[in-house]
Structure formats: structure tokens, C-alpha cells
Amino acid sequence: MANAILQVENLVKHYGDVHAVRGVSFSVEEGEVFGLLGPNGAGKTTTVEILEGLRTLDSGRVSVCGLDPERDSDALKQEIGASLQATSLPDKIRVIEAIRLFASFYKRHRDPQELLKRFGLDDKKNSFYSQLSGGQKQRLAVAMALVNDPRVCFLDEPTAGLDPQVRREIYDVIEELRREKKTVLLTTHYIEEAERLCDRVAIVDHGVVIALGTPRELKARSGGTTRIEARLSKTESNGTMKSLEGVVDVREVDDTYVLHSKRPPQTIVSLVKHLEAQGNELVSLEIATPSLEDVFIELTGRRLRD
Amino acid sequence: MKNFAALTRMRVQLAFRNKMFFFFVIVMPLVFFFLYAGVFAKSVPRIVSFYLGPVLAFNVMGSFWGLSATLVMFREQGILRRFHVAPVTASDLLASSIVANYVLTLPTVTLELVLARLIFHVPSIGNPISLFILLSIGILSFGSLGLVVASVTNTMQETQVLNQLLWLPLIFLSGATFPLAYLPRTVQRFGLFLPATYLVNGLQQTIIHSATLWSRYVEILSLAVWACLTFFLSAQLFRWEPEAKVPRRTKMLVAATAIPFLLLGIVENVSDRILREAYTAFESFTSAPATRRPPSLSMPGKPGEASNPSRSSQNQARQ
């Protein structure tokens, strides 16, 4: 790829015996919002923190804006912006002071006032950091990640631990970055976030990329089938379930049968008939259009959110 | 340089918003000052001036406590890693810690000197230049000690334990609380290996004998060398990440910070210069005679005894 701004090749990192990243490869083009989707502990944060220059890699090659994060860390830090996980600011620093302080570290920087306005923090600018709500802290973190007008912006789980409404506020912010054609590397374990915000997504599990593509491409992998999730009062064999009308695939995930069907109405009718004949009962039934969750289940046999 | 200035400003600003800061950096030292001057010295100007050096040293040494705690807290809360992803270097952070601490400690120390003159009528605060330089080097060096403590401890609890372990000998065995001349012989011998002893003695000699900068070169030089060594080591051992633990191997490196005063301690134990100075100060400025003065120290012909520079100024002070 000619204008890949971010390149990761066979990245490996372990902490003692724990293999956090086991050969991750992907590249991100300028102006793209790229998502790393995976459960907690999949190696997303480690990957991102290696790209940011916060951690060293064990093997493989990475390049960010044409720089080696380890060797050219000073130059790199001028070019990137980041909102980290497990971070904080001093309790008694005011919002405006924090953003001005960080602006002062960079050769090129945006107007702190304007950034606060844009992130809806204008009326909080004189508040102490400790007085902000979780959502406000997160918005400040994203605002601070943009303070140097970075070429690449890393957002590590920007919505983790926020309630859905606040999460949507952060989505708006990221969508705006996308409209601005900023290069963003986003990590998340929320399906919705990856589908809605990312141009391309790499699904990561146990330190490897198990699928990569646009959300649409990835969903097409599940064969355009509809997912039917059924919990039954008594177990049935996978074979029986697969013989139901229209079913192309069956998986058992946490005592729920996940059926992939080409003709959902017929499948449900034949399922109900079958259960009646067996004296079995439906405990619950859910029908969902294909999502990245299906891709994940298909590839790993597990749900994303454990 | 720009980052360093901005960070220093932030640290000073944050300190002023911190109630703990007011207690530990302003209230506590002043309580100790009044305790020493008003109670121990019974407000007798001559005795207050004897205790002024120790009380200032006490205040100056307290630097390492707050500094290590703040830095460890910053690391534990993940504040340091936010700076790490910005173009901030370890030296920026460490140097700004030291300088902010200096800026915050100096006013209290100055206030104590002013109070000593105005309220307790101390006859003289000695040579102001050497006093200023000794105080400055003291604040900077004990600040650096705080950085090393922050570097070698992994959690706040460990930090507090190590601080306590360092603090007690520093204040009790150095002359900062009980005068050195008043301590048992073995303790005195041990005290000569502590940086605190040199700070206390330097300040005391400067205040009561108006000692010149040149005559205090041992104290100034040793503390300065120690400050550089501790600062250098703390930069080597600096960790941004809360989960990055110190390897045992590097903990041994820290033993190197003891080297300057280990060497100086041996020299001083042989020459007895510091002890002799401490005795003369103790004898002339308190009414209690130093009965436990060991014979070796009053033996004629010992180098330095006859030409003790403090003798003449001591006589002046008596007149």
C-alpha cells in the first residue's frame, strides 16, 4: 500500500509467559478510521501502545508516519495523538490548564479554547479534573489527543465503562474526525462502535488478527444469513437442529443454540413444530440480522463480550 | 526547557491547591520551628541560634517525603503515562519536580529565618550567601533523594515505609533533633555517614560562627555531588508505567547513592572535624557542658584543634 500511514507486520509481544500479541499484521491508510475489535485481553491495547512508543516490541516491524516508534520516539510523539486506557490527570488541574499544558509540549498545536468548545467542555473549562463526569473526562481525553493536530490519532477504548448515552456523545466526536479525514486507530470491544465508526475493522482474538475488512465485507462472510438464537428447556443434538428448514449452520454458545438461517420464517416454524413433537419448550428466542458479532462467533465459537 | 518550565509551573500550582501541601510544607515546619525555638531553646536568643540550623535542616530534609509520594501517586494513577505519550522526557518531569519543590520550600525556610530574627532576636543568621547556598543545595539534594525513593518503590505503601526508614535516622542521628554532641559515641560515628549530619553542621556553623562559604566546602561539595548522583540515578530508574516493577538488580544500583557519604564518613571519622565543630558549638551555645566529650577530641596536637577556625568567631560571639 503506497500511502499506508501505519504499518504493522508480524508484531509479537509477550510479558513473561503471557503471549499478548502473537503475530499481528495490518496497515492503515491516511484518512481512514481503522478499528481493532476484540474481547478484553485480545492484545489490542498492547498493539496500540507499541505503535505509540509506550512499549517495546519483541519481534516484528511497525512503522507510524514512516517512523520507528522505538528509535524515533521524539519525532513520533509530535505526529501522534492518543487517548489511553488506565490514565488520569492530576485531580486539581483545571480543564483549560490541562489542555494548555499539553498544547505547550508540541511544536504545532490547535487553539485549546476552540477544542474545548467543540467537545462541549467550554462551560467546564475552569472545573477541576476531579469534578468531571466519566463522559466529560473521556471527551477531554479525546480533545487532548487532538491538541497537536496529529497525523494519526489513537483512541484506545474511548467508550469503555461509559453508559450508552455518553457513548453516543463520543461516537459523534469520532464521526466528526472521520468527516475531517483524520487517520484514527480505534480499539473497542463494542460491535456497534466498530460497525458504525470504522472504515475497516480487524477482529483480534488471543493476540492474532482473525479477520480483516470493511464491516460490510466481514458481515458478508456470514453468508447473508440471519442469526436465530434459541434457548431450550431440554437439550437437542446439533444434528437435529441443523436438519431444520433453511439452517446452514448451528453452534452452541453458552447453552444457547445459534442457528444461521437462509429462510428465517420457515426455520422458526419447523423449530417450533419439532419442539412440540419432542415435548421440548422454547425458553427464549432472538432473531438478529448479521453483525460483526456473528463473524466473531463464527470464527471463535465464543461471544465477543465475555 | 519549555516543557520543564510548563511542568514546574503546573506542579507549583497543584501544590497550592493541595491541603496536604499546606500542612506538610508550611504548618508542620513552623510548628517544629516554634517547638525548637520556644520550647527547647526557651526563647533564649543564643540557644535559638544554636537550634536554628537543625530546625532549618529538618524543614529542608522533609522535601523528599512529599516529592516521592507525589511522583508515585502520579505513576499509580496513570498520570505519568499520559505525559509519556506526549513529547515529555523523564528529565523534564524529574527536574520540574526538583525545582518546584525548591520554589515551594524556600519561602518557609526564609520565613523561619525572619521569625528567628524578629521574634526570637537571634543575634545573627551568619553569612547570608553561604547560608543561601547551603539551604539551596540541601533542598535540591534531598529532593533528589525523594526521586530515588519514587524510582525504587512500586506502590505508595512501599514508598511510605521507605520514607519512614530514611526519615528516622536522618532526623535523630544527624543532630537535627538531638544535638550531635549530645549523642552516644557510636551513634555519632554512625551519624557521620549520613548526608543530614553535614547539612545540619553546615547550617549550624554558618549561622552561629558566620562560617564562610569556603570553610563549608566539604558540606557543600558533598551534598552537591550526592544531589547529582541521586538525580542521575533517578533518571536511570525512572518508570512511567504503574505495572513496570523495579528489577532487584537495579535496586542494587541505588546503593551507589550511599557512596559519597560512605567515603566522607570514613574521612570524617578519622579526622573528627565535624564532631569537634559540633562539640564547640554545643559547649558555647548551650549552658549544659558536654560532659561526654571523649578524650581523643580534646587531646592537644590533634590536627585542626589549634587552628580551629570556629574558635575566633566563637570568642567574638561571647563578647
Q: Is the pLDDT of residue A218 over 50?
A: yes
A249 and B CB contact within 8 Å: no
Same domain, yes or no: A29 and A141: yes
Q: What is the pLDDT of residue A111?
A: 95
Residue in A with minimal Cα distance to B92: A105
Residue A143: left (phi > 0), alpha (psi -120 to 50), or beta?
alpha
CB count in 10 Å sphere of residue B223: 26
Q: Assess if residue A229 is contained within a domain.
A: yes
- Give SS3 for B43: coil
Q: Is the pLDDT of residue B291 over 50?
A: no
Q: Smallest Cβ distance to B87: which of A88, A90, A105? A: A105
String of DSSP letters for A145-162: HTTT--SEEEEESTTTT-
Do A210 and A95 lie in one domain? The reply is yes
pLDDT, one tens digit per residue, over B216-227 is 999 999 999 999
Nearest to B215 by CA among B267, B175, B293, B274: B274
DSSP conformation letters of B161-189: HHHHHHHHHHHHSSSSSS-GGGS-HHHHH
Contact A105 B82 (CB under 8 A): no
CATH number at residue A42: 3.40.50.300
When pLDDT is cut at 50, 70 and 90, the band that residue B305 belongs to is very low
Contacts of A104 in chain B (CB under 8 A): 2-3, 6
Number of H-type helices and E-type strands within chain A:
11, 13
Determine phi and psi for B55, rounding to 5 degrees: -70, -35
Report pLDDT digits (tens) over B251-268: 777 888 888 999 999 999
Q: Give the A window 189-248 contacts with B, CB below 8 Å.
A: none
Tens-place pLDDT, residues A7-18 = 999 999 998 889
Residue range A78-100: average pLDDT? 95
Question: What is the tens place of the pLDDT at every residue in B67-94?
Answer: 999 999 999 999 999 999 999 999 999 9
Among B18, B85, B88, beta carbon nearest to A82: B85
pLDDT at A102 exceeding the cut of 80: yes
Confidence (pLDDT) at A220 = 78
Nearest CA to A180 out of A31, A67, A304 is that of: A31
Query: Is the Cβ pair A105, B240 closer than 8 Å?
Result: no
Last residue of a domain, one of A173, A190, A219: A219
A92 with B18: Cβ contact below 8 A: yes
- Count the alpha carbons within 13 Å of A303 in the hemisphere toward its beta carbon: 11
Smallest Cα–Cα separation from B74: which of B137, B150, B138?
A: B150
Pairing label, strands A152-156, A226-232: unpaired
What's the average model confidence in pLDDT over B126-153?
Answer: 93
Range list of H helices, B35-89: 45-61, 63-76, 79-84
- Asked if the model's pLDDT at residue A209 lies above 60, the reply is yes
Can you give the pLDDT at residue A222? 66
Check residue B299 and give its pLDDT.
Answer: 41
pLDDT at A2: 54
Higher pLDDT, B18 or A221: B18
- Does residue A202 lie in a domain region? yes
> What phi and psi, each to the nearest 5 degrees, are found at residue A257?
-85, 125
A209 and A176 belong to one structural domain: yes
User: Rounded distance, CA B193 to CA B181, Å?
Assistant: 15
The confidence band for A187, taking pLDDT boundaries of 50, 70 and 90, is very high
Residues forming a β-bridge with A83: A155
Q: Greater confidence, A231 or A220? A: A231
Which letter does DSSP use for residue A31 in this model? T
Residue B36 has pLDDT above 60, yes or no: yes
Predicted complex: ipTM over 0.90: no
Query: In chain A, where does DSSP find H-type helix?
Result: 44-51, 73-79, 95-104, 112-118, 134-145, 164-179, 191-197, 215-221, 238-242, 264-278, 292-300
Bridge partner list, A59 = A12
Q: Which residue has the cell 469503555?
A: A160
C-alpha cell at B210: 558566620
The torsion angles phi and psi of A40, rounded to 5 degrees, stand at -60, 140
**Cell for A238?**
446439533
Is B14's CB within 8 Å of A90's CB? yes
- Window 123-152 of A: residues touching B by CB (8 A cutoff) are 128
Q: Please, are residues B295 and B289 in contact by the beta-carbon 8 Å criterion?
A: no
Overall domain count for chain A:
2
Domain that holds residue A233: 225-289
Cβ contact A105–B6 (<8 Å) = yes
Q: Please name the residue of chain A whose CA is at the shortest distance from the CA of residue B76.
A: A87
Q: What are the distances in angstroms from CA B206 to CA B53, B200, B226, B268? A: 8, 10, 20, 19
A17 belongs to a structural domain: yes
- pLDDT tens track for A45-59: 999 999 999 999 999
- Would you tell me how many other CB atoms lie within 10 Å of the CB of residue A229? 16
Does one domain contain both A258 and A189?
Answer: no
Task: Give the span between the Cα atoms of A195 and A201, in whole angstroms.
Answer: 8
Locus of grid cell 481525553: A141
CA distance linking residue B293 with residue B180, whole number of Å:
11
Q: Dig out the grid coordinates for B270 from the structure.
A: 578519622
Closest CA to A183 of A141, A214, A150, A217: A150
HSE toward the beta carbon, residue A248, CA cutoff 13 A: 12
Closest CA–CA distance from residue A284 to any residue of chain B (Å):
44
Tell me: pLDDT of B3 over 70: yes
Judging contacts by C-beta atoms under 8 Å, the chain A residues touching residue B88 are: 105
pLDDT of A124-177, one tens digit each? 999 999 999 988 999 999 999 999 999 999 999 999 888 888 888 889 889 988
Per the listing, cell 509540549 goes with A105
- Same-domain pairing of A105 and A250: no
**C-alpha R_g of chain B:** 20
* End-to-end Cα spacing for chain A: 35
A30 with A174, same domain: the answer is yes
Name the CA dihedral angle for B59, B63, B69, B70, rounded to a multiple of 10 degrees.
120
Of the pLDDT bands very low, low, confident and very high (cuts 50, 70, 90), residue B198 is very high
Tens digits of residue pLDDT in A225-251: 788 889 998 888 888 888 888 888 888
pLDDT band at residue B297 under the 50/70/90 scheme: low
CB-count burial class (<10 Å; 0-12, 13-18, 19+) for A128 = middle
Same domain, A135 and A230: no
Residue B111 binned pLDDT confidence (cut-offs 50, 70, 90): very high
Contact at CB, A97 and B10, closer than 8 angstroms = yes
How many CB pairs below 8 Å do chains A and B form together? 58
Instruction: Compute the distance between CA of residue B248 and CA of residue B119 in angstroms, rounded to an integer.
Output: 51
Q: Report the Cα B143 to chain-centroid distance in Å.
A: 9
Are A268 and A174 in a shared domain? Answer: no
Nearest to A213 by CA among A221, B114, A205, A52: A221
pLDDT at B287: 56
Q: Are residues A24 and A52 in the same domain?
A: yes
Q: Do A146 and A238 reside in the same domain of the chain?
A: no
Residue B197 has pLDDT above 90, yes or no: yes
Q: Report the gap between the CA of B74 and the closest CA in chain A (Å).
A: 7
* Over residues B90-118, mean pLDDT: 95
How large a percentage of chain B has pLDDT more than 70?
A: 89
Q: What is the DSSP letter of A128?
A: B
The CATH code of the domain that includes A273 is 3.30.70.100
Q: Are residues A277 and A209 in the same domain?
A: no
Nearest Cα to A241, choosing from A218, A261, A221, A224? A261
A205 shares its domain with A231: no
Closest Cβ–Cβ partner in B17, B87, B241 for A78: B87
Q: Tell me: pLDDT of B294 over 90.
A: no
In this structure, of A188-192, B108-112, B135-139, the range with the lowest mean pLDDT score is A188-192
Q: Using 50, 70 and 90 to split pLDDT, how confident is the model at A305?
A: low
What pLDDT, on a 0 to 100 scale, did the predictor assign at position A253?
A: 82
- Grid coordinates representing A203 are 477482529
As a whole number, mean pLDDT of residues B138-146 equals 96
Average of pLDDT values for A247-259? 85
Cα–Cα distance between B154 and B76 in angstroms, integer?
9
Q: Which three cell numbers stand for residue A146?
A: 487532538
In-domain check, residue A306:
no
3-state secondary structure of B191: helix
Q: Report yes or no: B143 and B97 within 8 Å, Cβ to Cβ.
A: yes
